A and B are shown apart, each in its own frame.
Chain A
């Protein structure tokens, strides 16, 4: 049991759930307190101590039955309710049948009709034969495939015919139809349970293998330099985590920098209070803390050309909104829509999907100029002298009017206007790109193709 819990924790870690040593210790103490007698209690005590993130709960629920069973009952013994004569009939019919078939199939038939079920050794032999160790993935689909392979090795496919033969033989031998029917029901139930056992075993074996093979750390530095568009889903997960960390770190760094930075005005109240202990002689001078309250307005291009990176930028905005309270986000293609509420209310994945489906990509329909004018007409109040405006887009405008004067007015009103473009600077100005028109109006223009560049750019926004 202990070994199993340790392996379960390892599997959780391999699936990306953070479990610290302290937490696994808590799990042991919780199990001590509640015991392992009640399966449900046991599950809850592991869950409360090991999983600290609502997002990780499904992973836990998926893994738990693989390691501690679904609580599937053992196979039934179909012969329990038979009279001695009927048992004799069954045995004879079986013996006759057994002589014609392969050893594996004999074993299977034996399990189903005698209710024994496979031993751990049986299962391990079977998985070795099925080559489970060489399975490349540990996804549920792969586990199903592996279980299927184990079933085939047992001769599962011939089972139907074989059982039909058996029932016929029993009927000929003079067993009454009701008993045969009851037997059939129980064997079918056993079949289902055995299938489930095999499935669990296959899933668990694949997990264990994956844990052994799992590389300890993903090569992050490599990821930092790869363009957003060329990332696999697994890479995306790592990146998402990085963005979250990045945002949190940037915030504390900004706070630190502000603390160390230039001091503000004298704070008479705090000074008086601090110097009461020196009977009012001002030894300690306190200054009014300048609170850094950055405001951000972000305009995100989600058109076809930007789709590969749009999801990523949306996640960035989501995190940014988490960190900087006064952030307003807008998305545009041919028109502009505020997406702040989407990003505020929903959880991150839902929010991203919601925004991307609300603004479906069209065919050559980007109109940044119109979107900018719309922004000026409706949302200009969002921009004031404390606001940093960030435009995330490639500036490809389908030869529409770029509305540079509008962007100029926004820029003059804001503290800073920053443009982040995923394209290489060499591509700016080619084709329908209006970057050369926009660039002079911005305080800063960055090429943001990968995480390293992004970190660099954000760092400068919060200053």
Chain B
């Protein structure tokens, strides 16, 4: 579908996703080799956003599986719809009586019933969860397995079959092979080490905080209402905050929130008042806010415009 890396990059840009050369290359490879893409990096650098943009680019449905501790097969893959099965059994009771009425012996009746067994363990009563939905879909999909590091190690092992062969086994029905191979994105915030086996099956992409120019580009694209001069100041401030030893660094999405806040407040410069009021959009710990305030006021002592010295 895409023949060159540049095309991938341009298509993502059209969806307002600024991809570095690395992101575009790895994504291109994932598509070409039919391999899952494992994106790691700090929170809020656009790992999840990448899969959303890719689903928009390719026009494929995005199937999302959010991982959490205790996630198991019945929530990720499929579950039998017991209530529906019960209901059908009750409603079809007369029909079943008809079916069995002609049988001479008990075993003959059981045989007849056995022939109809498939009715109750069929797709009809299968409640597909995200993984099965992605595999069973007639149109190709984008499967996003978000924050895989939150799921248990056992679930990771269970994913291996899905990721390497794109098939799942359901004991009552058999193995379901993907009609269309989905593009799989896995994201991880690196809160724990993933297993070697899982990593081996994926292409690896480490997304770090963007550089000043990249981030400025992102802000200008996503928040076009912000004046260019102010946008640059804001991004410079954020980049500087990331140099501090903070508990939680401001992420790209927080930069965008901040930029939107500045637009809403109609700010024209980053003066101390504006900073004071909006810093909490950027920083989520009281200690971090204090620290940033101290640093910024020190710098503002110099030129009074909140513009950091370079």
Chain B residue numbers with a CB within 8 Å of A52 are 38, 196, 199-200, 202, 204
Chain A residue numbers with a CB within 8 Å of B40 are 54
* Chain A 1-44: CB-based contact to B (< 8 A → 1; otherwise 0): 00000000000000000101011001001100110000011001
Chain B residue numbers with a CB within 8 Å of A20 are 196, 200
Does B10 have its Cβ within 8 Å of any Cβ on chain A? no
Task: Tell me the nearest residue of chain A to B27, going by C-beta.
Answer: A48
Task: Tell me the nearest residue of chain B to A33, going by C-beta.
Answer: B32
Chain A residue numbers with a CB within 8 Å of B22 are 44
B35, A26: Cβ atoms closer than 8 Å: yes
A201-251 at interface with B (beta carbon < 8 Å): 244, 248, 251
Instruction: Report the minimum CB–CB distance from A4 to chain B (whole Å).
Output: 20
Task: Tell me the nearest residue of chain B to A255, going by C-beta.
Answer: B154
Instruction: Report the minimum CB–CB distance from A271 to chain B (whole Å).
Output: 12
* Chain A 84-110: CB-based contact to B (< 8 A → 1; otherwise 0): 000000000000000000000000000
Q: Complex Cα distance A16/B28, Å?
A: 28
Q: Complex Cα distance A29/B29, Å?
A: 9
A322, B192: Cβ atoms closer than 8 Å: yes
Chain B residue numbers with a CB within 8 Å of A48 are 25-26, 29, 203-205
Does A45 have its Cβ within 8 Å of any Cβ on chain B? yes
Q: Complex Cα distance A276/B82, Å?
A: 7
* Chain B 143-163: CB-based contact to A (< 8 A → 1; otherwise 0): 000000000011000000000
Does B190 have its Cβ within 8 Å of any Cβ on chain A? yes
Does B5 have its Cβ within 8 Å of any Cβ on chain A? yes
* Chain B 66-88: CB-based contact to A (< 8 A → 1; otherwise 0): 00010000000000001001100
Q: Complex Cα distance A150/B139, Å?
A: 62
Task: Tell me the nearest residue of chain B to A42, going by C-beta.
Answer: B25
Chain A residue numbers with a CB within 8 Å of B192 are 322-323
Does B291 have its Cβ within 8 Å of any Cβ on chain A? no
The residue that A33 contacts in the complex, of B29, B193, B205, with Cβ under 8 A, is B29
Q: Complex Cα distance A252/B153, Å?
A: 8
* Chain B 1-34: CB-based contact to A (< 8 A → 1; otherwise 0): 0000100000000000000011001101100110
Does B248 have its Cβ within 8 Å of any Cβ on chain A? yes
Task: Tell me the nearest residue of chain B to A291, going by C-beta.
Answer: B70
Chain A residue numbers with a CB within 8 Å of B202 are 52
Instruction: Report the minimum CB–CB distance from A19 to chain B (whole Å).
Output: 9
Task: Tell me the nearest residue of chain B to A274, going by C-beta.
Answer: B82
B25, A341: Cβ atoms closer than 8 Å: no
Chain A residue numbers with a CB within 8 Å of B204 are 47-49, 51-53
Enumerate the 7 nearest inter-chain pairs by beta-carbon distance, A residue then B residue, closest first. A52-B199, A44-B25, A33-B32, A48-B26, A52-B204, A48-B203, A322-B192
